[in-house]
């Protein structure tokens, strides 16, 4: 029979009388030194005390040991019984995740007996091998479901090796000797909590701004007698749509509505992909024009005020992307719905006039102006920059254009701005030179892009005294923040068209030289593919204005001619194109011998649309450690929707993307996967 030896604090407590003997002995020796008779008496008393202590210790040792053992057994039994009858499901796993022991509550919940030795994954699929490995390093909590109940499973390591002693006790099955570590699993029923949490989430109030994009244009085309009826039908359709999801709607202006609905209702609207965008186009009384809506929604803000700010930012983004769509701003995330719609062209130029006057006031308050477009600038970016240069010159303000790379397609246009034509030598500067020139009195103007990382010099955006943005591309989640003036109109064919309208209202006597008119006209010509893409009434009006200021079509055509190598490279792209799903042409541009391979890729994408049966084209060009994707369509496919999922953007018929850290084949597969997904979701119909 093994003898139980007291240890730790219990051993110290039992030896306390012997420690006292040592203390008495020291005191007796001290008295013996000072007073002999008292010292002898003290030694005698200490000896008697030691003798009695030994007798008591020896006589009660077995009885004391029995009582300690009895208490330990009783304590262990009570502990085992409490754990077994614990009202919270509790189980022990071995290192491989197999059930080693479970209490009655765990057995009752799972319907398994205590001898069930299979992996816990067979009961709770969520508790995997990876979960158990994580629990071996730190406490791990994972949510599991079992028979319509939800539990928080708390997994924690129980390592017996750390104790360095035998914990054997036959009466307690939890303490059977076992090397290594065990995993304790505690299940907390959070079903009611999760239900309340979900209810609270669904009951959150969501602010919605709903604007009619083309209210004025549509009403002007209707007889005055029918206008009130058309307005009533419009109001009824919008009100009925939101009331079906328990929304409260208030008309704040003739073409603006404010809606408050529950988050649960928003989920229902998402599921039907905001059918109001298409349904509202059926509202026609005495007119062939159709209404379109822009909707901005803000969710998951910390306060009602913040959600309202999100909704306001979302509606601005929807309008900036051309309207006829829904934008949901969820803190930092932005979602788009209904982007298949074509941008609605505005007939009124009031906005252009207001922006022109605002630009004039800002230029008057600055000492100089710096203009830049997107990296690897094209004719549209250059032409728009030249238009801004004309505005600054009219006010006598020095203006310089940031241009890092002069491609072969741009060189003929840039060379026309020479000393012989009385243009300053420093009219065009690089990014490095611009960063030296810029100061707090400099106005930075960005044209033909609204993404900071796409500009020629992103650092300039934070150096000058304010930023102005002119662009015709749809806005995405990444955009220039806090510009002093932002004029973004996706319905416009090009940035040059927008700048041309601004020039007309900038000053009554502004002068544009034929060279400048040619450059701006060239930008419109390139972006509209010779007036075949995204061309509206205002596009031709802008071209007519430039023609009156000396733009010569024949001269521009000569400036835009390309060399033989670029022509052959474009032909090779078309020749090697692959057709996907019978409607999508995908090709790769390997124009290594050309100076501007990205321009060749964009031109080839246009050429591919001339093939019968091709609804959309995609040309991939590897250049400067990036993959440039140019996508085009005629009318049936929204290539902007595809490019957005690829990380880019653009318009319904003209879009693109720039992708880093990837290969041509990887990007090609991604495009094919996106097309497959959109076909499955119904966004692309073949």
- In the 3-class helix/strand/coil scheme, how is 236-280 assigned residue by residue? HHHHHHHHCCCCEEEEEECCEEEEEEEHHHHHHHHHCCCCHHHHH
At a CB cut-off of 8 Å and minimum separation 6, what does 14 contact? 6, 57, 64
Handedness of CA 206, 266, 252, 295 (dihedral sign): positive
Higher local confidence (pLDDT), 233 or 101: 233
Whether the predicted pLDDT of 548 surpasses 80: yes
pLDDT at residue 173 in the model: 45
CATH architecture of 564-681: Roll (3.10)
pLDDT at residue 164 in the model: 43
Q: Which of 160, 161, 157 is nearest to 186 (CA)?
A: 157
Whether the predicted pLDDT of 344 surpasses 70: no
The C-alpha atoms of residue 577 and residue 580 are separated, in whole angstroms, by 10
Handedness of CA 446, 447, 452, 454 (dihedral sign): negative
Whether the predicted pLDDT of 135 surpasses 60: yes
CATH superfamily of 90-197: PAS domain (3.30.450.20)
pLDDT at residue 501 in the model: 93
Confidence of residue 414 (pLDDT cuts 50, 70, 90): very high
Confidence of residue 162 (pLDDT cuts 50, 70, 90): very low
Matching residue, tokens 């802008």: 542
pLDDT at residue 402 in the model: 94
Lowest mean pLDDT among 187-196, 315-324, 325-334, 636-645: 315-324
Share of residues in the chain with pLDDT > 90 (%):
32
What ranges do the domains of the chain cover? 8-84, 90-197, 204-337, 350-559, 564-681
SS (H, E, C) 145-205: EECCEEEEEEEEEEEHHHCCCCCCCCCCHHHCCCCCEEEEEEEEECHHHHHHHHHHHHCCE
pLDDT, the chain, mean: 83
Question: Model confidence over 625-672: pLDDT tens digits?
Answer: 889 999 999 878 888 889 888 888 777 788 889 898 899 999 999 999
The C-alpha atoms of residue 173 and residue 120 are separated, in whole angstroms, by 19
Q: How would you label 304-321 residue by residue, b for 16+ Cβ within 10 Å and e otherwise?
A: eeebbebbeebbbbbbbb
> Strand, coil or helix: what is 618?
strand
pLDDT at residue 5 in the model: 62
Higher local confidence (pLDDT), 542 or 536: 542
350: buried, middle or exposed (CB in 10 Å: 19+, 13-18, 0-12)?
Answer: exposed
pLDDT at residue 350 in the model: 74
Among 125-129, 335-339, 442-446, top mean pLDDT goes to 442-446
Lowest mean pLDDT among 6-15, 90-99, 657-666: 6-15
Whether the predicted pLDDT of 339 surpasses 60: no
pLDDT at residue 89 in the model: 86
Handedness of CA 240, 245, 246, 247 (dihedral sign): negative
pLDDT at residue 216 in the model: 83
Which token pair is 516? 């400048």
Lowest mean pLDDT among 31-45, 198-212, 607-621: 31-45
pLDDT at residue 165 in the model: 43
pLDDT at residue 168 in the model: 40
Which token pair is 620? 């991939």
* Cβ atoms within 10 Å of 536's Cβ, excluding its own: 18
pLDDT at residue 240 in the model: 93
Q: Are 634 and 653 in contact (CB under 8 A)?
A: yes
Quote the pTM value.
0.58
Whether the predicted pLDDT of 174 surpasses 50: no
pLDDT at residue 175 in the model: 43
pLDDT at residue 10 in the model: 67
β-pairing verdict for 256-262 and 205-212: antiparallel
The CATH class that applies to domain 350-559 reads: alpha beta
Lowest mean pLDDT among 33-37, 225-229, 239-243, 677-681: 33-37
Q: How would you label 636-657 residue by residue, b for 16+ Cβ within 10 Å and e otherwise?
A: ebbbbbbbbbbbbbbbbbbbbb
Whether the predicted pLDDT of 399 surpasses 90: yes
pLDDT at residue 252 in the model: 92
User: What is the fold, at CATH topology level, of the domain defined by 204-337?
Assistant: Alpha-Beta Plaits (3.30.70)
Whether the predicted pLDDT of 67 surpasses 70: no
Whether the predicted pLDDT of 591 surpasses 80: no
The C-alpha atoms of residue 618 and residue 606 are separated, in whole angstroms, by 9
| Secondary structure (DSSP) of 367-423 | SEEEEE-BSS--HHHHHHHHHHHHHHHHTT--EEEE-S---TTTHHHHHTSSTTTT-
Which token pair is 276? 């109001």
Q: How far is CA 530 from CA 25, 419, 516, 525, in A?
A: 115, 30, 19, 5
Share of residues in the chain with pLDDT > 70 (%):
88
Question: Model confidence over 604-615: pLDDT tens digits?
Answer: 998 899 899 999
Rounded-to-10 torsion of CA 578, 579, 580, 581: -160
Among 104-108, 384-388, 437-441, 567-571, top mean pLDDT goes to 384-388
Q: Are 550 and 514 in contact (CB under 8 A)?
A: yes
């Amino acid at each position: 029979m093994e003898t139980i030896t007291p240890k730790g604090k219990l051993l110290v407590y039992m030896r306390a009388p012997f420690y006292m003997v040592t203390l008495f002995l020291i005191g007796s020796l001290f008295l013996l030194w000072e007073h002999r008779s008292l010292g002898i008496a003290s030694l005698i008393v200490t000896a008697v005390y030691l003798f009695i202590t030994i007798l008591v210790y020896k006589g009660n040792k077995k009885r004391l040991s029995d009582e300690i053992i009895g208490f330990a057994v009783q304590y262990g039994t009570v502990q085992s019984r409490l754990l077994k009858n614990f009202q919270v499901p509790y189980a022990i796993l071995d290192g491989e995740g197999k059930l080693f022991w479970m209490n009655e509550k765990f057995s009752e919940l799972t319907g398994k007996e205590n001898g069930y030795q299979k992996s816990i994954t067979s009961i709770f699929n969520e508790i995997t091998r990876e979960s158990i490995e994580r629990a071996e390093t730190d406490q791990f909590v994972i949510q599991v479901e079992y028979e319509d109940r939800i539990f928080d499973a708390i997994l924690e390591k129980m390592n017996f090796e750390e104790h360095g002693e035998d914990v054997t006790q036959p009466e307690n099955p939890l303490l059977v000797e076992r090397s290594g570590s065990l995993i304790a699993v505690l299940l907390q029923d959070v079903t009611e909590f999760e239900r309340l949490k979900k209810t609270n989430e669904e009951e959150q109030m969501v602010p919605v701004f709903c604007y009619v994009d083309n209210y004025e244009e549509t009403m002007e085309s209707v007889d005055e007698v029918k206008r009130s009826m058309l307005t009533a039908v419009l109001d009824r359709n919008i009100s009925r749509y939101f009331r079906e999801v328990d929304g409260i709607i208030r008309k704040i202006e003739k073409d603006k509505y404010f809606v408050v609905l529950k988050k649960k209702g928003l989920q229902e609207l998402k599921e039907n992909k905001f059918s109001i965008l298409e349904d509202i186009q059926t509202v026609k009384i005495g007119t062939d024009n159709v209404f379109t809506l822009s909707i901005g929604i803000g969710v998951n803000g910390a306060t009602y005020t913040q959600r309202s700010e999100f909704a306001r930012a979302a509606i601005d983004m929807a309008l900036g992307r051309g309207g006829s769509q829904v934008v949901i701003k969820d803190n930092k995330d932005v979602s788009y719905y209904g982007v298949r719609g074509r941008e609605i062209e505005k007939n009124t130029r009031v906005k252009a006039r207001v922006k022109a006057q605002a630009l004039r006031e800002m230029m008057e308050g600055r000492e100089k102006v710096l203009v830049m477009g997107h990296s690897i600038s094209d004719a549209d970016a250059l032409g728009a920059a030249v238009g801004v240069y004309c505005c600054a010159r009219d006010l006598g303000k020095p203006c310089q254009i940031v241009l890092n790379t002069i491609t072969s397609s741009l060189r003929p246009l840039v060379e026309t701005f020479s000393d012989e034509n009385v243009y300053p030598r420093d009219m065009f500067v690089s990014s490095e030179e611009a960063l030296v020139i810029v100061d707090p009195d400099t106005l930075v103007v960005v044209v033909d892009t609204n993404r900071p990382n796409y500009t020629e010099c992103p650092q300039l955006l934070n150096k000058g005294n304010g930023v102005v943005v002119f662009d015709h591309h749809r806005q995405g989640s990444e955009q220039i923040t806090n510009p002093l003036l932002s004029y973004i109109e996706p319905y416009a064919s090009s940035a040059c068209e927008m700048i041309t309208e601004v020039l007309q209202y900038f000053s009554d006597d502004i002068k544009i030289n034929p060279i400048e008119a040619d450059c701006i006209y060239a930008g419109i010509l390139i972006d509209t593919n010779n007036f075949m893409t995204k061309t509206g009434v205002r596009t031709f009006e802008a071209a007519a204005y430039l023609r009156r200021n000396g733009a010569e079509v024949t001269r521009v055509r000569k400036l835009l001619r390309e060399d033989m190598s670029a022509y052959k490279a474009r032909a090779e792209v078309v020749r090697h194109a692959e057709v996907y799903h019978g409607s999508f042409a995908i090709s790769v541009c390997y124009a290594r011998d050309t100076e501007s391979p990205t321009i060749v890729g964009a031109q080839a994408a246009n050429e591919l649309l001339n093939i019968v049966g091709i609804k959309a084209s995609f040309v991939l060009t590897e250049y400067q450690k990036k993959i440039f994707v140019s996508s085009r369509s005629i009318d049936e496919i929204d290539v902007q929707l595809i490019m957005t999922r690829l990380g880019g953007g653009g318009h319904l018929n003209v879009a693109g993307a720039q992708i880093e850290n990837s290969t041509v084949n990887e990007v090609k597969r991604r495009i094919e996967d996106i097309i497959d997904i959109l076909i499955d979701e119904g966004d692309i119909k073949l």
